[in-house]
Amino acid sequence: MYEKEREELIQNLRVKGIKDESVLNAMLKVERHLFVPEAVRPHAYNDIALPIGYGQTISQPFTVAIMTEALNLKPNSKVLEIGTGSGYQAAILLEMGMKVYTIERNPDIYYRTQKLFDKLGLRILMKLGDGTIGWEEYAPFDGIIVTAGSPSIPEKLKKQLAVNGRMVIPVGGRSTQTMTILTKISDDKFRIEKIPHFAFVPLIGREGWKEE
């Protein structure tokens, strides 16, 4: 279902500047409509964020693409996602051949997405809790992707990133952020690149925002 819409979306992402074929290929394969509520399914292949309930959203496809491209991971890499949400971003990483670890703080969203992963047979390791403190047990990670807007870069996540690994995290105010791409050069040295003008739901937690 929706094959033609998916192809058009990929074409649209190319026009917008996404070049990484492994990212584009994964987005051609993963069926985004399965990750959104039935009511918004007809819009699943528009390049927009969509509501997934509980005041949360599934990220815009362009945002998923640019963040995944920025991670610059080889297949088989270990990647940690903070903010599982619909599970779409995690499914893209899995399709690209990564070992995927993902953390979600909202129990309703967590259990709903766990069910979906089971149904689709997606082998993704999930944890319910505050992702701003990372997942020590499986660290270090070759890549860390934070899919909620953060006031700063959580220290624990910096520590749990492998040397030469990359972290992609939207940093800024509660409503707009700058996409920040960190490359770990050595234990305490990072190279930083930035892409402005993103809008994510807030990252809530110990090293994030306070709940409203």
How many other C-beta atoms can be found within 10 angstroms of the C-beta atom of residue 17? 10
Q: b/e for 82-92, b at 16 or more Cβ within 10 A?
A: bbbbbbbbbbb
Among 63, 77, 147, 180, binds ligand SAH (CB under 6 A): 147
Helix axes 21-29, 61-71, angle to 10 degrees: 140
Looking at the Cβ atoms of 164 and 167, the one nearer to ligand SAH is 167
Nearest-angstrom CA–CA distance, 174 and 163: 30
Looking at the Cβ atoms of 40 and 163, the one nearer to ligand SAH is 40
Query: Could you say which of 59, 77, 86, 150 is catalytic?
Result: 59
Among 59, 63, 177, 180, binds ligand SAH (CB under 6 A): 59
Smallest separation, CB 96 to ligand SAH (Å)? 14
| Residue 106 in contact with ligand SAH, rule: CB under 6 A | yes
How many other C-beta atoms can be found within 10 angstroms of the C-beta atom of residue 123? 9
Looking at the Cβ atoms of 12 and 56, the one nearer to ligand SAH is 56
Nearest-angstrom CA–CA distance, 152 and 144: 15
Q: Which residue of the chain is nearest ligand SAH when measured via CB?
A: 85
Active site residue 59: yes
Closest CA to 89 of 75, 103, 108: 103
Nearest-angstrom CA–CA distance, 131 and 42: 31
| Residue 130 in contact with ligand SAH, rule: CB under 6 A | yes
Residues that bind ligand SAH (CB under 6 A): 56-59, 82-83, 85-86, 88-89, 103-106, 109, 130-132, 147-148, 201, 203-205, 208
Which residues are known catalytic residues? Answer: 59
